[in-house]
Amino acid sequence: MENEIYLTKEGYKALQEKLDYLKSTKREEVSKKIGVAREFGDLSENSEYDAAKEEQAQLEAEISDIENKLRFGKIIDKKEIDTSCVNAGCYVKLKDLDFDDEFEYQIVGSTESDPAKGIISNESPVGKALLGKKIGDKVNIILPQNNNATIRLEVLNIRI
Protein backbone atom coordinates (compact mmCIF):
# COMPACT_ATOMS: atom_id res chain seq x y z
CA MET A 1 0.00 0.00 0.00
CA GLU A 2 2.73 2.49 0.94
CA ASN A 3 4.68 2.18 -2.34
CA GLU A 4 1.67 2.89 -4.54
CA ILE A 5 1.18 6.38 -5.91
CA TYR A 6 -2.25 7.58 -4.83
CA LEU A 7 -3.98 10.42 -6.65
CA THR A 8 -7.31 12.11 -6.13
CA LYS A 9 -9.30 12.77 -9.29
CA GLU A 10 -8.41 16.46 -8.90
CA GLY A 11 -4.73 15.61 -8.47
CA TYR A 12 -4.78 13.39 -11.55
CA LYS A 13 -6.37 16.17 -13.59
CA ALA A 14 -3.83 18.72 -12.30
CA LEU A 15 -0.97 16.40 -13.31
CA GLN A 16 -2.49 15.97 -16.78
CA GLU A 17 -2.77 19.74 -17.18
CA LYS A 18 0.82 20.26 -16.02
CA LEU A 19 2.01 17.56 -18.41
CA ASP A 20 0.18 19.21 -21.32
CA TYR A 21 1.76 22.57 -20.43
CA LEU A 22 5.26 21.07 -20.15
CA LYS A 23 4.98 19.14 -23.42
CA SER A 24 3.67 22.08 -25.41
CA THR A 25 4.42 25.55 -24.08
CA LYS A 26 7.46 24.79 -21.92
CA ARG A 27 9.15 22.52 -24.49
CA GLU A 28 8.75 25.24 -27.10
CA GLU A 29 10.23 27.88 -24.77
CA VAL A 30 13.26 25.71 -24.01
CA SER A 31 13.72 24.86 -27.68
CA LYS A 32 13.79 28.58 -28.51
CA LYS A 33 16.38 29.18 -25.78
CA ILE A 34 18.58 26.49 -27.29
CA GLY A 35 18.19 28.02 -30.75
CA VAL A 36 19.11 31.49 -29.50
CA ALA A 37 22.10 30.12 -27.56
CA ARG A 38 23.37 28.29 -30.67
CA GLU A 39 23.58 31.62 -32.45
CA PHE A 40 26.19 32.78 -29.92
CA GLY A 41 28.77 30.62 -31.68
CA ASP A 42 31.24 28.04 -30.36
CA LEU A 43 29.17 25.53 -28.36
CA SER A 44 32.18 24.27 -26.38
CA GLU A 45 32.41 27.58 -24.49
CA ASN A 46 28.79 28.65 -24.67
CA SER A 47 27.35 28.88 -21.14
CA GLU A 48 23.91 29.93 -22.43
CA TYR A 49 23.75 26.80 -24.58
CA ASP A 50 24.87 24.60 -21.67
CA ALA A 51 22.24 26.16 -19.39
CA ALA A 52 19.49 25.71 -21.98
CA LYS A 53 20.47 22.06 -22.57
CA GLU A 54 20.46 21.47 -18.79
CA GLU A 55 17.00 23.05 -18.57
CA GLN A 56 15.87 20.76 -21.41
CA ALA A 57 17.20 17.68 -19.57
CA GLN A 58 15.39 18.70 -16.37
CA LEU A 59 12.19 19.35 -18.31
CA GLU A 60 12.31 15.93 -19.99
CA ALA A 61 12.96 14.26 -16.62
CA GLU A 62 9.94 16.05 -15.11
CA ILE A 63 7.77 15.04 -18.08
CA SER A 64 8.87 11.42 -17.68
CA ASP A 65 8.18 11.51 -13.94
CA ILE A 66 4.65 12.89 -14.44
CA GLU A 67 3.92 10.37 -17.21
CA ASN A 68 4.91 7.54 -14.86
CA LYS A 69 2.74 8.93 -12.05
CA LEU A 70 -0.22 9.12 -14.43
CA ARG A 71 0.46 5.67 -15.87
CA PHE A 72 1.00 3.82 -12.59
CA GLY A 73 -0.90 6.00 -10.12
CA LYS A 74 -4.00 4.66 -8.41
CA ILE A 75 -6.90 7.08 -8.45
CA ILE A 76 -8.62 7.25 -5.09
CA ASP A 77 -12.29 6.50 -5.66
CA LYS A 78 -14.33 7.88 -2.76
CA LYS A 79 -16.94 5.16 -3.30
CA GLU A 80 -14.32 2.49 -2.62
CA ILE A 81 -12.75 4.00 0.50
CA ASP A 82 -13.23 1.89 3.62
CA THR A 83 -13.73 4.30 6.52
CA SER A 84 -13.61 1.57 9.16
CA CYS A 85 -9.89 2.33 9.27
CA VAL A 86 -7.53 5.01 7.94
CA ASN A 87 -6.84 4.69 4.22
CA ALA A 88 -5.51 6.94 1.49
CA GLY A 89 -8.26 9.40 0.60
CA CYS A 90 -9.70 9.60 4.11
CA TYR A 91 -9.98 12.62 6.33
CA VAL A 92 -8.79 11.73 9.82
CA LYS A 93 -9.70 13.77 12.88
CA LEU A 94 -6.97 13.43 15.48
CA LYS A 95 -6.30 14.47 19.05
CA ASP A 96 -2.79 15.35 20.17
CA LEU A 97 -2.68 13.61 23.55
CA ASP A 98 0.15 15.81 24.87
CA PHE A 99 -1.33 19.21 23.97
CA ASP A 100 -5.05 18.31 23.95
CA ASP A 101 -5.40 19.81 20.45
CA GLU A 102 -7.74 18.42 17.80
CA PHE A 103 -7.05 18.69 14.07
CA GLU A 104 -7.82 16.93 10.81
CA TYR A 105 -5.64 15.63 8.01
CA GLN A 106 -6.50 14.24 4.64
CA ILE A 107 -4.28 11.31 3.70
CA VAL A 108 -3.24 11.40 0.02
CA GLY A 109 -0.35 10.25 -2.13
CA SER A 110 2.98 12.08 -2.00
CA THR A 111 2.25 13.93 -5.25
CA GLU A 112 -0.54 15.97 -3.68
CA SER A 113 0.82 16.40 -0.17
CA ASP A 114 0.56 19.90 1.31
CA PRO A 115 1.02 19.73 5.10
CA ALA A 116 0.32 23.47 5.52
CA LYS A 117 -3.21 22.78 4.24
CA GLY A 118 -3.69 19.62 6.33
CA ILE A 119 -3.05 17.30 3.39
CA ILE A 120 -0.40 14.71 4.23
CA SER A 121 1.20 11.90 2.32
CA ASN A 122 0.58 8.25 3.04
CA GLU A 123 4.39 7.99 2.89
CA SER A 124 5.06 10.63 5.58
CA PRO A 125 5.83 9.41 9.11
CA VAL A 126 2.39 10.52 10.36
CA GLY A 127 0.50 9.23 7.31
CA LYS A 128 2.31 5.90 7.35
CA ALA A 129 1.67 5.44 11.08
CA LEU A 130 -2.05 6.23 10.72
CA LEU A 131 -2.79 3.83 7.85
CA GLY A 132 -4.95 0.96 9.08
CA LYS A 133 -5.78 2.59 12.43
CA LYS A 134 -9.37 2.64 13.66
CA ILE A 135 -11.38 5.18 15.66
CA GLY A 136 -10.13 5.11 19.25
CA ASP A 137 -6.67 3.80 18.32
CA LYS A 138 -3.73 5.62 19.85
CA VAL A 139 -0.41 5.85 18.10
CA ASN A 140 3.06 7.11 19.00
CA ILE A 141 4.85 8.57 16.00
CA ILE A 142 8.55 9.37 15.84
CA LEU A 143 9.28 12.43 13.71
CA PRO A 144 12.76 12.03 12.19
CA GLN A 145 12.71 15.56 10.74
CA ASN A 146 12.13 16.94 14.25
CA ASN A 147 15.08 15.38 16.12
CA ASN A 148 13.12 12.13 16.54
CA ALA A 149 10.52 13.82 18.73
CA THR A 150 7.53 11.61 19.48
CA ILE A 151 3.93 12.73 19.14
CA ARG A 152 1.04 10.83 20.64
CA LEU A 153 -2.20 10.90 18.67
CA GLU A 154 -5.65 9.38 19.04
CA VAL A 155 -7.92 8.75 16.05
CA LEU A 156 -11.24 10.48 16.76
CA ASN A 157 -13.01 10.16 13.42
CA ILE A 158 -12.51 8.88 9.86
CA ARG A 159 -14.53 10.20 6.94
CA ILE A 160 -14.38 10.70 3.18
Quick one: 149 and 94 in the same domain? yes
Angle at which helix 27-38 crosses helix 47-72, to 10 degrees, equals 160
Quick one: 110 and 69 in the same domain? no
Quick one: 69 and 90 in the same domain? no
If one counts every other C-beta atom within 10 angstroms of the C-beta of residue 52, the result is 21
Task: Please give the Cα distance from 88 to 90 (Å, whole number).
Answer: 6
The total of structural domains in the chain comes to 2
In a domain, 151, yes or no: yes
Quick one: 56 and 104 in the same domain? no
Quick one: 83 and 104 in the same domain? yes
Task: Please give the Cα distance from 109 to 8 (Å, whole number).
Answer: 8
* Distance set, CA 85 to CA 22, 134, 157 (Å): 38, 4, 9
Quick one: 122 and 70 in the same domain? no
pLDDT (0 to 100) of residue 1: 42
Quick one: 95 and 140 in the same domain? yes
pLDDT (0 to 100) of residue 75: 93
**Residues of the chain where predicted confidence (pLDDT) is lower than 50:** 1-2
User: What is the reported pTM?
Assistant: 0.74
Quick one: 37 and 99 in the same domain? no
pLDDT (0 to 100) of residue 65: 95
In a domain, 1, yes or no: no
Quick one: 37 and 95 in the same domain? no
pLDDT (0 to 100) of residue 41: 73
pLDDT (0 to 100) of residue 2: 43
Q: Strand pairing partners for 137?
A: none
Chain centroid offset of residue 75 CA: 13
Quick one: 54 and 95 in the same domain? no
pLDDT (0 to 100) of residue 3: 61
In a domain, 133, yes or no: yes
- End-to-end Cα spacing for the chain: 18
* Distance set, CA 119 to CA 22, 103, 113, 159 (Å): 25, 11, 5, 14
Quick one: 82 and 62 in the same domain? no
pLDDT (0 to 100) of residue 46: 78
Final residue of a domain: which of 51, 75, 99? 75
pLDDT tens readout for residues 114-152: 999 999 999 999 999 999 999 999 999 999 888 999 999
Task: Please give the Cα distance from 123 to 108 (Å, whole number).
Answer: 9
Q: What CATH code is carried by the domain that includes residue 107?
A: 3.10.50.30
Give the residue numbers spanning the domain of 152: 78-159
Contact 78, 160 (CB under 8 A): yes
Of 105, 96, 95, 94, nearest to 150 (Cα)? 96
pLDDT (0 to 100) of residue 38: 83
